[in-house]
Chain A
Amino acid sequence: MSMLAKMTSATPAKPKGPAGPGRRIFIHTLLIGVALVMLYPLMWMISSSLKPDQDIFTDPSLWPQNFHPQNYAKGWTGSGNSFTLYLTNSLIVTIGAVIGNVLSCSLAAYAFARFEFRGRRIWFALMLGTMMLPMQATLIPQYTLFFNLNWINTFLPLIVPKFLATDAFFIFLMVQFIRSIPRELDQAAMMDGANPGQIYLKVILPLMKPALVTTTIFTFIWTYDDFFSQLVYLSDNEKFTVPLGLTLFLDKTAGSSFGPMFAMSALALLPTLICFLVFQKRLVEGMATSGMKG
């Protein structure tokens, strides 16, 4: 059918209005314009981070006339503690969260995808329901709980929940993925005498690597950028993460040193930008197929 349709529709399907190349140039111009508007603020921030303070607001060009890389050195130590501390703290929190999510979510996903246990449908529905729940609804009792455990101002409230599979979004993503792995593989392993624990470790986990990588990248970026939980649970400067360290700049330098502030903001975005450049395709496709957040 499609061959015939293509042949017959060839003439009328041709674009009306401007001819082929003109139309293409028009679309590209439009898209490049949008891309510029989208990226200009980021480029402006990076270029501002390389300008001396007095130039930032008088020289709107993207290429600094006077290079001032000292902003980075000044910013690194300029907000109370050294940025080294904030980065280390962020690293501890994000690595803990990644390990927690990968482990606990893959275990739960394997159970949901492969077993017919009692109440499976209800539990699964409950899991999907928790994805819709606003975090504020559980915030205060959770805070009280962690307060009573003496966990406030430690990294535990930011890491431990991830080991309890509270990011249901990733369970869902992994369930979808495991369902695409042929059951015959599990059955073959079972014939060889493997128990479900061994099947999880030796068959499922290695085969679901793409889903685990997606989980790792998104957990990393979202935890690293997450401001709200860190603001709520961390109060001591020594425990501050990168986003909290940045807000110190705002309080301190109201108007005085924009250069260092832009320098550290640019640096703070760097891990996310690197992740984006390396995993761009996977990130965009992960979004397209699962489409949560943001």
Chain B
Amino acid sequence: MSVTTETLHKAGEEPPAAAAPAGRERDRERERKRAARRRAGGWWPFLFLAPWFIGVFGLVIGPMLDSLYLSFTNFDLLTPAQWTGADNYTRMFTEDPNFWQSVRVTLVYVGVSVPLKLALALGVAMLLNRPLRGLGFYRAAFYLPSLLGGAVAVAIMWRQIFGEDGLFNAVLGWFGIEGQDWISSPDTSIYTLILLAVWQFGTPMVIFLAGLKQLPKDVYEAAAIDGAGPFTRFRRITLPLLTPIVFFNVILQIIGSFQTFTPAYVVSNGSGGPIGSTMLYSLYLYKKGFADFQMGYASALAWVLFLVIALFTAVNFIASRYWVHYDD
């Protein structure tokens, strides 16, 4: 049916050119051009976009290219940059153990916190996806820590909670477990940061919840008739239909966690310690650039971060072809 209306519509709009007299054809052409110009708006759109154009060239694309150039130089801000070729990159990969330390810490941080955070977010969203009294309260309570996100006050609180005399050890004490200073032990400090990230599972949870609400109910009804239990329904219906949302959350969380800075800075007083155990990549970059003023080297670090994030995102997009299902 839709095909016929479409063809009718088309026929009405554009009668065969040969049939129309030349003059009327020209008028129509002129009218069409005038309508297009009205939509184009002449200079108006560029006027509206002027701030954005200045911003995107002056503060994004320009600086990005500049940062690529600087990454091949020695630059301390006060004297002009000196070209050193690939020295910064060679140094990074072959001579700088602190670089590798920060890479290790960051990979552990991203690799552990992202899956845990997403699993928790999905689990809680499933629990909330039903008519439930107090739903608004739960949703708000679980989202609040995410909103506080990278606030310094939260990081300060975390530092005290996992300190020697902190709340965490007090709770362990109720169960007769002897605690320790989790923050200043190099074996556990990164896990306190991971726990902080997992505590902030609210954002992906809210996105999952919105996705779950969109799932077609009749599919579940049909599956229930066929006798599918809750576990089968989750694995065979919910998860496949939800894959676009899962994908979206994975991308966002990976990009976000690679750039985490505030908690690592606050918990370690800006040092990344004890012995580099909380030296997240962004913190290392900050130290190189703004404590040691090795801005050429910091630019190289920034470009490596950019490429790694782009690579992770690209791999995710390619892999998504095999596990993300779209309706159409």
Footprint of B on A, CB under 8 Å? 1-2, 5-6, 8-9, 12-13, 16, 27-28, 30-31, 34-35, 38-42, 44-45, 48, 57, 60, 103-104, 107-108, 110-112, 114-118, 120, 123, 126-127, 130, 132-145, 147, 161, 163-166, 171, 190, 195-197, 200, 221, 225-228, 231-232, 243, 246-247, 249-251, 258, 261-262, 265-266, 268-269, 272, 276, 280-281, 283-284, 287-289, 291-294
Contact = CB atoms under 8 A, between A and B. Distances in A.
Contacts of A60: 167, 170-171
A interface secondary structure, majority = helix
Contact of A134 (B149, B209, B252, B259): B259
Interface string B287-316: 001100001001101110110010001000
A115 B157 contact: no
A35 B142 contact: yes
Given A38-B141, A57-B165, A115-B41, A9 B221 contact: yes
Given A38-B141, A57-B166, A137 B67 contact: yes
Contacts of A1: 218
Given A134-B302, A246-B152, A266-B153, 13 more contacts: A5-B218, A8-B225, A40-B167, A103-B51, A116-B40, A127-B56, A141-B63, A166-B60, A247-B152, A258-B160, A272-B151, A288-B209, A294-B203
Contact of B203 (A139, A161, A266, A293): A293
A288 B210 contact: yes
Contact of A38 (B70, B142, B161): B142
Given A44-B161, A137-B305, A232-B290, A39 B141 contact: yes
A291 B52 contact: no
Classify chain B's interface size. 35 or more
A221 B303 CA distance: 29
Interface of B: 36, 38-41, 44-49, 51-52, 54-56, 58-60, 62-64, 66-67, 70, 77, 124, 127-128, 130, 132-134, 136-154, 156-161, 165-167, 170-171, 199-200, 202-203, 206-207, 209-210, 217-218, 221-222, 224-225, 227, 229-230, 248-249, 252, 255-256, 258-259, 261-262, 265-266, 269, 282, 285-286, 289-290, 295, 298-299, 301-303, 305-306, 309, 313
B262 A227 contact: yes
A116 B210 contact: no
Contact of B39 (A41, A111, A116): A116
3 residue pairs, one from A and one from B, having the closest CB atoms? A164-B55, A141-B63, A288-B210
Contact of B55 (A120, A134, A165): A165
Given A161-B59, A287-B203, A133 B306 contact: yes
A242 B285 CA distance: 24
Given A115-B45, A225-B150, A293-B203, A265 B38 contact: no
Contacts of B38: 190
A268 B262 CA distance: 15
Contacts of B58: 145, 164
Contacts of A45: 153, 157, 160
Nearest to B50: A107
Contacts of A134: 255, 258-259, 302, 305-306, 309
Contacts, number: 297
A127 B141 CA distance: 33
28 contacts: A16-B230, A30-B127, A39-B141, A107-B48, A112-B49, A132-B255, A133-B60, A134-B306, A135-B259, A138-B63, A140-B289, A140-B299, A141-B70, A142-B59, A143-B77, A143-B289, A161-B59, A196-B45, A227-B151, A227-B262, A228-B282, A249-B156, A269-B153, A272-B148, A287-B203, A289-B210, A291-B203, A292-B252
Point out which of A117, A261, A269 has the most chain B C-beta atoms below 10 A from its C-beta.
Answer: A117
A141 B144 contact: no
Nearest to A40: B167
B44 A196 contact: yes
A221 B62 CA distance: 28
Contacts of B159: 250
A104 B52 contact: yes
B59 A138 contact: yes
A171 B127 contact: no
Contact of B52 (A133, A165, A276): A165
B13 to A, nearest CB: 18
Contacts of A291: 203, 206-207, 210, 248-249, 252
